[in-house]
Amino acid sequence: MTHDIFAAMRARIVAALREILPDLPEDAFARVATEPPKDAAHGDMATNGAMVVAKPTKQPPQKLAAQLAEKLAALPEVAEATAAGPGFVNLRLRESHLLALVPAVLAAGEAYGDSRMGQGVRVDVEYVSANPTGPMHVGHCRGAVVGDALALLLRKAGYDVTSEYYINDAGAQVQALAHAAYWRYLQALGTDMTEEEFAAQVPGGLQYRGDYLVPVGAALRQIFKDSLAEPGARPAPAGRWLDTVRDFTVTAMMAAIREDLAALGVQHDVFVSEAQLVRDGKLDQAEALLAAKDLIYRGVLEPPKGKTPDDWEPREQTLFRATQFGDEVDRPLRKSDGSGTYFANDIANHLHKIERGFAELVHVWGADHGGYVKRMKAAVGALSDNKVGLDVVLTQIVHVVKGGQPVRMSKRAGTYVTLRDLIEEVGRDAVRFTMLTRKADAQMEFDLDKVIEQSRDNPVFYVQYAHARCFSVLRQAGLAGPAGQGLPAALRASLGAAPLDALTDPAEIALIRRIAAWPRTVESAAAAREPHRIAFFLTDLAADFHVLWNRGRDDATLRFIRAEEQAATSARLALVAATAVTLRSGLAVMGVEPVEEMR
C-alpha cells in the first residue's frame, strides 16, 4: 500500500503512455516524473511524460501532451487534464481524491510516509566513530545527528539499516591516552614528579592533559593499588602497565561517550572495535584477499606534490593498487616498520562489513576526511569486486556563536565546548533539529541564543509550536487523550470517518497538498542521503498550518471548532489530526520529540 499519490499517478501516466506508444522500450519511461507544480495555478500535479518520450518517438511534445491529457482526463481521480507550455500535462485532481488522503494518513499514523523504496536492502550506516580519547565535543555532534537521522530516514524509506560505531582503539592515539591516564594514576598514588618530568619520558610527549582523566587515575589506583608503579609512585616500564591501563581507559572513555550519545538520543546498533578486528586477524585476512587479487605490491611512493614534507625520504612499503579503482596514488597498507596503517585497519573494518552481508555502506565523516574518500571507495570496490557501494556523507565544521561572538574551541585554553554542555544549554531537540537545518557539507553557524529563542526565526520552536497547536485544538474539542500519548488509533479512526466535503478553503487544500508531498520527500531525501530536507519540509508544513490557523482569526467561519457547524468541525479536526500525524512522522525521522504543549 502506498500513500504516495504522486507515485500512484505516475504509474497511471506511464500506463497511458504505453497505450499511446506501444512500441517504445521500457526504459524510455524512466525519466517520467510527477510532481507538484511550482505555481499552484497549474493544478495539483504536473508531468513531463510527453516531453520525455517526444525524442525517441520523434513526435512533437505538444501533440503527445494533448493525447496524454485526453487519456488522463478520463481517469476517475482526475477532474481536469490540460496540455501546457512546452509539453507539460497539468492535472487537477477531483477534490474527493485529494481529500481521501486525510483518512489514509490518519489510518497510517506515524507510519505515514513509510516507503518500500529500499526493498529491504541491507545498509550499514557508520557515524560518530570519535576516537575514545575523551568526552564528545561539539565537533562530533553534527556527524552524530546527521548519521542518526540518516539511519532513521533510510529505515523509513524501506532499507534494512544497521547503525554502527567504529571504535578507533588500536592506534598511536590510544597509546598516548594510556600514558595520560597513567600520569593521573601516578598522581593519585601521590607521586612527587612534576608533570613536565613525566612528559619528558613519554614518547611523543604527554597529550590529553584535560581533567577528565583524573577520575580514571583514581579508579586505576583503587583497583590496582600501587602494583603498576615502582616504589615511590615512580613510573614503571611500559611493558608492565601499558596494555592494562590502555584497555581500562578506553573502556572508561567509551562508557562516557555512550552516555553522551544517549543524552543526544543517538542510537547505534553495534560497536565494532578496531583492536578486536586486529586481534581477530581481519587485517591479515584482508591483506591476503587483496594479495590473491594481485592488488598488493612492495614499492616506494613518489613524494607528495606541492610542498614536500621536510623529513620526506623514499621508503619501501606494502602498497595497495588503489589507482586501479579510481584513486590518484597507490596507498600504503603497512608502515616502513611493517605495522599496519590506519587505512589497512579500516580495510579490515570494511571487509568485516562486507562479510556481514551489507549491500550498501554509508559513512558520515568530518570534511577533514574528504581526502580519504577515494581510497576507501577503492578498497571497498576491490574487496567486493565492485558489488558493494560506499557512500560518504561529509559534514562541515560547526561554528558555535554566542552573543554574536564566536565561542573559541580550544582544549588547551579550557574553553572546549563539550557535547554535554551544549545539550544542557539549549536542549537535545534544539541541538538535533538545528544541526539538520543546513546541508551537511555546508559550513554552519550554531547560534546559542537563537536556538532557544521562541520565534519564527527558530525552526525548532516553529515546528514544535505547530504540533502543539494541533493538540491544543484537539484538546479544545475535548478529543486529545493524556499528554505524551500522541493520537490513539481509535481516535484517529473516528476522526478519519468524518465526511470531508467541508474542506474547501484554499489554505485547507494547500495544507493537504503539503501533507501529500511527505512520502516523496522521504524518498528523495533518502535517495540523496540528505536528512536536512526533512527539516525543511517540516518547516514548510508548519507554515501552512500556522497560515490556516490564522485564517480563523480573520474570518470566524474558518475556525476549526464551530459549535453550530458539526460537519465543518469534524472535517477540520480530521485535517488538524492529519497534520499532527505528519509532523510527528517527520519529527521521528529527525529524532526530535513532538511536544503537545508549549510552556
Q: Considering only residues 311-330, where is the footprint of RNA by CB under 7 A?
A: 311-313, 315, 317, 328
The nearest distance, CB 505 to RNA, in angstroms, is 12
* Residue whose CB is less far from RNA, 294 or 310: 310
Which of the stretches 103-111, 420-428, 490-498, 520-528 binds RNA when contact is defined by CB under 7 A? 520-528
How far is the CA of 226 from the CAs of 241, 396, 432, in angstroms? Answer: 11, 45, 45
Binding flag, residue 599, RNA (CB under 7 A)? yes
Contacts of 437 (CB under 8 A, 6+ apart): 444, 459, 532, 535, 536
Tell me how far, at minimum, the Cβ of 366 lies from RNA, in Å. 8
Contact 426, 385 (CB under 8 A): no
Reading the block at residue 512, the C-alpha cell is 493537504
Q: Which is nearer to RNA, 519 or 591 (CB)?
A: 519
Binding part of the chain for RNA, among 193-201, 289-297, 414-422, 465-473 by CB under 7 A, reads 465-473
Taking contact as CB under 7 A, which single stretch among the options 16-24, 97-105, 210-218, 516-524 is the one that binds RNA?
516-524
Is residue 27 at the binding interface for RNA, with CB under 7 A as the rule? no
Interface mask (CB under 7 A) for RNA, residues 155-174, using x and -? -------------x-xxxx-
Q: Which is nearer to RNA, 279 or 456 (CB)?
A: 456
Q: Residue 405 pairs with which residues in a beta bridge?
A: 402
> Would you say 142 or 374 has its CB closer to RNA?
374
**x/- string (CB under 7 A) for RNA, residues 389-428?**
-----x-x--------------------------------
Locate all alpha helices (DSSP H) within 265-389, ordered by sequence: 274-279, 282-292, 342-355, 373-384
- Half-sphere exposure of residue 509, counting CA atoms within 13 Å on the CB side? 16
- Whole-number minimum distance, CB 486 to RNA, in Å? 17
How many residues sit close enough to RNA to count as binding (CB under 7 A)?
A: 106
Kindly state the smallest distance separating residue 502's Cβ from RNA, in Å: 15
Binding to RNA (CB under 7 A) within 30-49 occurs at: 31, 33, 35-39, 41-42, 46, 48
Enter the C-alpha cell of residue 390: 560506499
Task: Please report, as residue ranges, which positions from 112 to 141 form the binding site for RNA (by CB under 7 A).
Answer: 131
Max Cα distance, the chain (Å) = 95
- CA 350 from centre of chain: 20
Nearest to 275 by CA among 249, 253, 247: 247
Give the one residue of 523, 534, 579, 590 binding RNA; rule: CB under 7 A. Answer: 523
| Least Å from the CB of residue 192 to RNA | 32
Range 258-287, binding RNA (CB under 7 A) = 274
Q: Is 87 in the site for RNA (CB under 7 A)?
A: yes
Q: Which of residues 176-205 bind RNA (CB under 7 A)?
A: none
Give yes or no for residue 563 binding RNA (CB under 7 A). no
204 Cβ contact partners less than 8 Å away, ≥ 6 residues apart: 172, 176
Q: Minimal distance in Å, beta carbon 339 to RNA?
A: 7
Of residues 440-459, those binding RNA (CB under 7 A): 441-445, 454-457
Least Cβ distance, residue 104 to RNA (angstroms)? 20
- Residue 249 CB, nearest distance to RNA (Å)? 15
Residues in the chain, overall count: 599
Query: Burial of 78 by CB count in 10 Å (0-12 exposed, 13-18 middle, 19+ buried)?
Result: buried
Least distance to RNA from the beta carbon of 332, Å?
4
Q: Is 336 in the site for RNA (CB under 7 A)?
A: yes
Q: Which residues contact 62 (CB under 8 A, 6 or more apart)?
A: 50, 83, 86, 87
- Is residue 473 a contact point for RNA (CB under 7 A)? yes
Amino acid at 40: A
Report yes or no: 427 and 452 within 8 Å, Cβ to Cβ: yes
Dist. CA 93–CA 72, nearest whole Å? 11
Chain-centroid distance of CA 111 in Å reads 18
Distance CA 145, CA 362 (A): 14
Residue 61 vs 486, nearer CB to RNA: 61
- Residue 304 or 357 having the CB closest to RNA: 304
Q: Does 337 bind RNA (CB under 7 A)?
A: yes
Q: Which of 10, 352, 374, 584 binds RNA (CB under 7 A)?
A: 374
Angle at 424 between CA 431 and CA 271, to 5 degrees: 65
Residue of 306, 404, 414, 482 that binds RNA (CB under 7 A): 306
* Near RNA by CB under 7 A: residue from 212, 271, 325, 372: 372
Residue 517's closest CA among 114, 153, 113, 111? 113
Within 8 A by CB and 6+ apart from 414, the residues are none
Residue from 197, 230, 284, 368 binding RNA (CB under 7 A): 368
If binding is defined by CB under 7 A, does position 304 make contact with RNA?
yes
Cell numbers found for residue 507 = 489554505
Q: Does 556 interact with RNA (rule: CB under 7 A)?
A: yes
Element (H, E) at 45: strand 45-47
Smallest distance, Å, CB 102 to RNA? 18
Contacting RNA within 528-547 (CB under 7 A): 528, 530, 532-533, 536, 539, 543, 546-547
Record the cell numbers describing residue 445, joined without a space.
553557524
Stretch of 71-79, 286-294, 382-390, 435-443 lying at the interface with RNA (CB under 7 A): 435-443
Q: How many CB atoms lie within 10 A of CB 45?
A: 24
In the complex, minimum distance from the CB of residue 218 to RNA, in angstroms, rounded to a whole number: 26
Q: How far is the CB of 39 from RNA (least distance, A)?
A: 6
Task: Quickly count: other Cβ atoms within 10 Å of residue 89's Cβ.
Answer: 30
- CB of residue 331 vs RNA: minimum separation in angstroms? 7
Contact predicate 152/529, CB 8 Å: no
* Euclidean distance between CA atoms 70 and 479, whole angstroms: 45
Q: What are the φ and ψ backbone dihedral angles of 498, each rounded to 5 degrees?
A: -70, 145
H or E stretch covering 360:
strand 360-366
State which of positions 474-503 bind RNA (CB under 7 A).
476
- Chain-centroid distance, C-alpha 152: 7
Distance CA 17, CA 53 (A): 8
The distance of closest approach from Cβ of residue 345 to RNA in the complex, given in angstroms and rounded to an integer, is 8
- Could you say which of 139, 158, 235, 332 contacts RNA (CB under 7 A)? 332
